[in-house]
A and B are shown apart, each in its own frame.
Chain A
Amino acid sequence: MVILGTKRAAPRTRGPVDSRGYRIFRVVNAVVLTLVVILTLYPFVNIVARSLSDEAYLLAGKVNVVPRGFDLTAYRLVMSDPLFWTNYRNTVVYTVVATLISIVLTTCYAYVLSKPQLKGRGVLVGVALFTMFFSGGLIPNYVLVTSLGMKNTIWAIVIPNAISVFNLLVMKAFFESLPTELEEAAAVDGLNTYGILLRIVLPLSKAIIATMVLFYAVSFWNSWFTAFLYLDRQDLLPVTVYLRNLIAGATSAESAAADADKVQAAATLQAVTIVLTTLPILAVYPFVQRYFVSGVLLGAVKG
């Protein structure tokens, strides 16, 4: 018996042959997406290459993708600045604390809003939505934060922006999509409201929470404006302000007063600082990404 032969002769199980149009689409798709990948990746690869290059090549405009004249002086310079590390530590602390507060507050708010039987739900949603379109403005906010005594403390960074309305609405939609029967069953089994939230709903919401953590963490990691507004001491500032100041300092006319050799390193310094500040987010992202994709979709489609 020639089993192998019959197997080989067996009809294709992949289904109908792809149509001509679909194949063209796939090729075009691949080409376009590859281009997008290159476009997105290039600036980053370029910055990494710049951070590792000798300034002479940088100034001659010869650095594109591959580092030229491998040189780690700039890394040593940045890493030897204690202020950089102080600010870096601040960023980590601010991000962790702020994300924690934001997640707790957003989850609580969103869960409450997802309950149709809640009286005054419309008003609560309205309150949140209102802040999406109108704000008190810069100076009233500043006066408020200052008179609450939060200036020059971590609270000025982590409290005022604790709830992002957009994230709140995504989360609310997600909770609404959870089958109410589950909660009813839990209630029948004797869980109270908090028990239902903590033991039934939250464990089912890992995807959306991971997504929210990512959203919040990235936005807090990158934010500099609130810190710039409410913090007057350089040892409290996050690393984003340090970076911003470094770049401004390197390009402003005033740095002309600085030493020749050190100004020379400015171009590399910027690249190095950018690499060092983006690195943690880049390192974390791939692990959260799978939640990220499913989480946003789950929130968007109401079951």
Chain B
Amino acid sequence: MLRKTWRRAAVATAGVLALTLATACSEDPGESTDLAENRVGAMAEYGVGDQFKATEALSFSTLYNNHTFYPLKDDWLFWSELTKRTNVTIEPVAVPLSDYEQKRSLLIGAGDAPLIIPKTYHPAETAFVASGAILPVSDYLDLMPHFRDKMEKWNLKPEIDNLRQSDGKFYLLPGVHEKPTQDYTVLVRTDVLQELNQPVPKTWDELYTVLKAMKAKYPDVYPYSDLFSKPTPTGALLNILGASYGTQAGWDYQHATWDPAAKKFTYTGGSEQYKQMLTYLHKLVAEGLLDPESFTQTDDQARQKLANGKSFVVTGNAQTLVNNHRPDLAKTQPNAKLAKIPLPVGPAGEINPAPRLENGIMISSKARESKNFVAMMQFIDWLWYSDAGQEFARWGVEGTTFTRDASGKRAPAADVDVLGLNPKGTKHLQQEFGFYNGVFTYGGTPDLVRGFFSAEELEFQRVMDARTPRAVPPPHPLTDEEREQVSLWETPLKDFVAQNTLKFALGQRPLSEWDAYLAELKAKNAEQYIEVVNKAYQRFQDKNS
């Protein structure tokens, strides 16, 4: 009896599935052109430099990543001023930042998603493409003059091409930067450098010399003891070191690396560059320069070692430097000086590895049915991509939250504080006004992106700007079946590479076993993986050249 019921349920489920598939496949590809019925509230003439203002009052639901530091407030100047300028009200669906991704999947899966879904990191949008729940935004770029303008002016085509899916469209409107802004680098105790009469290291080899000198003077100290052992052991160090060696490691680990000379992809974890990087890392560990605990300790432990003079070098960025390490040191060793040094140069030459795209916006497919669709796209274009919109989202209202001097340089208003730039300010730009909000502030010109940077950080960025941005690999979008196939290979491969990276670095496995390691990689389908990627690359080339 029970079995019969189950069988019936199974048949019913299969039927529903088949139906869903049938509807998903029968989509009409030509529907994107006719927008005549979706223009209510839209501006007839809207181009680069224009202020968007809806012709009637509109409101759009938006998924809102609610940050603990500046929890959502209804009386923010951001909301009222935005409505004043654009005639649009945003209806936030507030989600705690702790579980934003989960709620986003749930809402999209349940068909209950808000129209605008910001703060989506590529390739998270890929998961929703097959269901048809999100809009192929690339079909509607003609509604977004500012986005197109920035894409052309800043030559972002190669980057944006990488967002394309196997149908040649992209589903995510990314945050775009004019210039890459490298964040992480090596932080060094410059007072120790002085004491040892060492120059600031410019390359990884010079850093090795410096660490060596530190070790000679303080034999019982591991001069480099790193943070960020989770989720990838020493993810940050591997990330910057990998970039300098022309490969991708740590946080940034990608299975496929583009080889421009051979015009094909190779498997990252088995490449010569990866081996060189491991050789260097192993040298640091073997000679007692890099703390072996760097791969396992918690961030707090590493922080304490630096604070207590048990290490002199860590990986970090401007925030960890200013917010964590300097206050730590000020309490424990008032004479210590810690500074960000320009990213050390490796065999890959003087490059700036930072990406120029950041998290972006997905649009619900149901927005396309709305009579206000065109107005919504124009609104998104204005707020996220126009110079005026970007300045508004970041700095707020001139005269109220910020001022501009004769040279055009912006500064927070006298009573407004942000990032501790104006400690006397009683009102906080994020908390009291709702500006510089992670949901609405993406990318822009260096002038905007680096508006809150300290002089020290600007100097770091000046050095980094002189370097060539890292070349972007050509697009190689996989089909659904291919993605399903490679995702079965990805996890074991990634774990295997991470494990062996650790073993090689720590010397648990000698580098002489590299060939055996390559054979093991092959046994874990690394070659098949790369074959699929190269095939996808070739297919995209054939279709789009």
Contact = CB atoms under 8 A, between A and B. Distances in A.
A4 B218 CA distance: 78
B98 A244 contact: yes
A245 B96 contact: yes
B304 A245 contact: no
A228 interface: yes
B96 A61 contact: no
Name the residue in A83, A142, A250, A258 with the highest tally of chain B Cβ atoms < 10 Å from its Cβ: A258
B69 A257 contact: yes
A229 B322 CA distance: 37
Given A59-B300, A139-B110, A261-B420, A249 B68 contact: yes
B323 A263 contact: yes
B270 to A, nearest CB: 30
A83 B72 CA distance: 10
Interface in A161-201: none
A143 B419 CA distance: 41
A260 B322 contact: yes
Interface residues of B, number: 42
A246 B301 CA distance: 22
Contacts of B417: 259
B95 to A, nearest CB: 7
Contact of B69 (A139, A146, A255): A255
Interface in B308-332: 308, 317, 319-320, 322-324, 327-328, 331-332
User: Which of B96, B97, B300, B303 has the most CB atoms of chain A within a 10 A radius of its CB?
Assistant: B96
A234 interface: yes
Contacts of A93: none
A56 B308 CA distance: 12
Interface string A225-243: 0001100111001000100
Nearest to A137: B109
B93 interface: yes
A264 interface: yes
B436 A257 contact: yes
A252 B106 contact: no
Nearest to A138: B106
Contacts of A56: 331
Interface in A33-66: 56, 59-61
| A: interface residue count bin | 35 or more
A60 B307 contact: yes
A228 B98 CA distance: 10
Nearest to B428: A259
A61 B304 contact: yes
Contacts of B68: 245-246, 248-250, 255
Contacts of A138: 106, 109
Interface string A71-101: 0000000000001000000000000000000
Nearest to B417: A259
A245 B323 contact: no
B102 to A, nearest CB: 8
A254 interface: yes
A257 B323 CA distance: 10
Given A256-B320, A257-B69, A248 B98 contact: yes
A264 B327 contact: yes
A232 B109 CA distance: 16
Interface in A259-282: 259-264
B419 A60 contact: no
B110 A59 contact: no
Contact of B110 (A142, A247, A248, A260): A142
A229 B107 CA distance: 9
Residue among B307, B323, B327, B420 with most chain A CB within 10 A: B323
Given A233-B94, A255-B69, A260-B327, 8 more contacts: A143-B110, A146-B110, A234-B94, A234-B96, A245-B96, A249-B97, A259-B428, A262-B69
Interface of B: 66-69, 71-72, 93-99, 103, 106, 109-112, 300-301, 303-304, 307-308, 317, 319-320, 322-324, 327-328, 331-332, 417, 419-420, 428, 430, 436, 438
16 contacts: A59-B303, A142-B106, A232-B95, A234-B94, A244-B98, A246-B68, A248-B96, A249-B69, A255-B68, A257-B319, A260-B322, A260-B323, A260-B420, A261-B420, A263-B323, A264-B327
